[in-house]
Amino acid sequence: MTSNKPKIVVLGAGYAGMMTTKRLTQKLEAEEAEIVLVNKHNYHYQTTWLHELAAGTLDPNKVRMLISDVIDTSRVDLVHDTVVEIKKDENRVILENGELEYDYLVVGLGFEKATFGIKGMEENAFSIQSVDSSRLIREHIEYQFARYSSGEDTNEENLNIIVGGAGFTGIEFVGELAEQVPKLCKKYDIDRKKVRIINVEAAPTILPGFDEDLVDYARKSLEFRDVEFRIGTKINECKPDAFVVGDDNEEIKGGTIVWTGGVQANSILGKSGFEIFKGKMNVNTDLRAPGYENTFVLGDCAWVMNKETDRPYPPTAQIAIQEADTCANNIAALLRGGELEEFVFDNKGTVASLGGSHAMGTIFEGKKLYGKTARAMKNVIDNRYLFMLGGPNLVLKKGKLRPF
Ligand SMILES: Cc1cc2nc3c(=O)[nH]c(=O)nc-3n(C[C@H](O)[C@H](O)[C@H](O)COP(=O)(O)OP(=O)(O)OC[C@H]3O[C@@H](n4cnc5c(N)ncnc54)[C@H](O)[C@@H]3O)c2cc1C
């Protein structure tokens, strides 16, 4: 498709990319701009549900949807390809199978795992990063159970699942494991006591930065379901079958090792010559890349400053979705010669699932929620996003409608 209209290229169909594209189709008339959305896969997935897929508590097809089912393809040109590099000074994007020119660029390429140089972590640990990487974890765990049950592997330690990092993702993941492991034990006739779920964290607490009461609740809930914590424990190395930890280099053994301890912006940004600070890009208040007036960087690729604390907001789906609105407004303003707006984050709270009917978090002005109420609120948050993206039909098709 070639035209004389200004061309907006959106890279990545995650929360930021999908919502920006959706909003652009709503805010712009067809003759105002050509819109192109580039993504590695022909489907969009809910990154916030990947821990459930990885543990085996949610079906892979529940997590994803065809992009063409939710984006108006009469308005948007969908390109199913992998971005390799952004030639930022030439307004071109290099793809694995071609290239694209742009007048305006939106980068929503998400995160990659950050291993902080821990020896062996990159090679030996799984990560919850995409549908494919999460499906691999689920299959690997079940394979360990099947091997043990069949007598092919008699080493009980290979049943252990060790998880590095007790931040949001690590805690949500061990919560799902606490629900799934008893089911796998039943399926493969294995005594539950033989399987250990061990969460290792260098900080002195799980969920650093969370409210103390919520942390306490989460820890008790998970320990009650036999999750073991090794808090204040530094991982020195990741071997194929163990974390090596602490001053005495103790080995914590397991047949499945998952690293959830850190994320950074997609490395394409750094490779393309954009300045990266502590793993991500510091963007201007209007979400543009410093020095590049036609380029917006959103979601997990960007640090957006919280003026009140003088620290960046933690990257979340919530902020990525809100950034999409500002980005679409600002592109419309650039096209029409209007004023650009500043991004203002409206924090609606955070709820973490702890597996099954267990959850905790805060909503609105810090109101604390626990247990089934928190779990129900988590479903409301997830279904709200689906509603914004694809209306009631998408909620009915992909939403979490059943009580836990
Ligand atoms: C397990 C887990 C649970 C989470 N839970 C929550 C939660 O409860 N609440 C919350 O607010 N946040 C949560 N988060 C954080 C949240 O998921 C991220 O902040 C959010 O996904 C960021 O959105 P994004 O659009 O920047 O990136 P993503 O949603 O990750 O999307 C990036 C997109 O880019 C595509 N892509 C990547 N590389 C390329 C390439 N080279 N070429 C083409 N396409 C490419 C990917 O396929 C993907 O479609 C969670 C994260 C994880 C991992």
- DSSP per residue, 11-45: E--SHHHHHHHHHHHHHS-TTT-EEEEEESSSEEE
Percent of the chain with pLDDT over 90: 93
Q: Of 196, 186, 176, 226, which Cα lies nearest the Cα of 56?
A: 176
Calculate how far, in angstroms, residue 112's C-alpha sits from the geometric centre of ligand 1: 9
Q: Quick check: is 333 in a domain?
A: yes
Residue of minimum CA distance from atom 4 in ligand 1: 48
144 falls within a domain: yes
Determine what percent of the chain is predicted with pLDDT higher than 70.
99
Between the CA of 300 and the centroid of ligand 1 the distance, in Å, is: 7
The maximal CA–CA distance of the chain, rounded, in angstroms, is 70
Predicted local confidence at residue 3, as pLDDT: 77
Question: 342 and 319, same structural domain?
Answer: yes
In a domain, 142, yes or no: yes
One domain, residues 270 and 231: no
Burial class of residue 177 in the structure, from the number of CB atoms within 10 Å of its CB (0-12 exposed, 13-18 middle, 19+ buried): buried
Read off the CATH number of the domain in which 225 is found: 3.50.50.60
- Residue 229 β-bridge partners: 199
- Decide: residue 310, CB within 10 A, 0-12 exposed, 13-18 middle, 19+ buried: exposed
Residues 218 and 276 reside in one and the same domain: no
Ligand 1 pocket, residue 40 CB under 6 Å? yes
Grouping H, G, I as helix, E, B as strand and the rest as coil, residue 404 is coil
Identity of the amino acid at 397: K
Residue bearing tokens 């035209």: 3
Pick the last residue of a domain from 236, 259, 282.
Answer: 259
- What residues make up the domain containing 218? 121-259
Q: What is the CATH number of the domain that holds 87?
A: 3.50.50.100
Tell me, in angstroms, the distance from the centre of ligand 1 to residue 206's CA.
22
pLDDT at 7 over 60: yes
**Per-residue pLDDT band at 402 (split at 50, 70, 90):** confident
Is 339 a residue whose pLDDT tops 70?
yes
Statement to judge: residues 281 and 336 lie in one domain? yes
Residue 183 placed within a domain: yes
What are 332's two structure tokens? 């419309």
Domain match, 240 and 125 both: yes
The pLDDT of 171-199, averaged and rounded, is: 98
Positive or negative, the CA dihedral 79, 20, 382, 361 is positive
CA distance 70 to 386: 10
Give the pLDDT of residue 404.
Answer: 65
* Gap between the Cα atoms of 228 and 159, Å rounded: 14
Its pTM surpasses 0.85: yes
Provide the annotated active-site residues.
172
For residue range 303-333, list pLDDT tens digits in order.
998 888 888 998 899 999 999 999 999 999 9
Q: Are 49 and 63 in contact (CB under 8 A)?
A: yes
Confidence label for 104 from pLDDT (cuts 50, 70 and 90): very high
Q: Is 175 within the bounds of a domain?
A: yes
Q: Would 73 be classed as within a structural domain?
A: no
The total of structural domains in the chain comes to 2
Q: Are residues 177 and 192 in the same domain?
A: yes
Q: Which of 259, 286, 307 is the last residue of a domain?
A: 259
Residue 382 domain flag: no
**Tens digits of residue pLDDT in 24-50:** 999 999 999 999 999 999 999 999 999
For tokens 């950074």, name the residue: 264
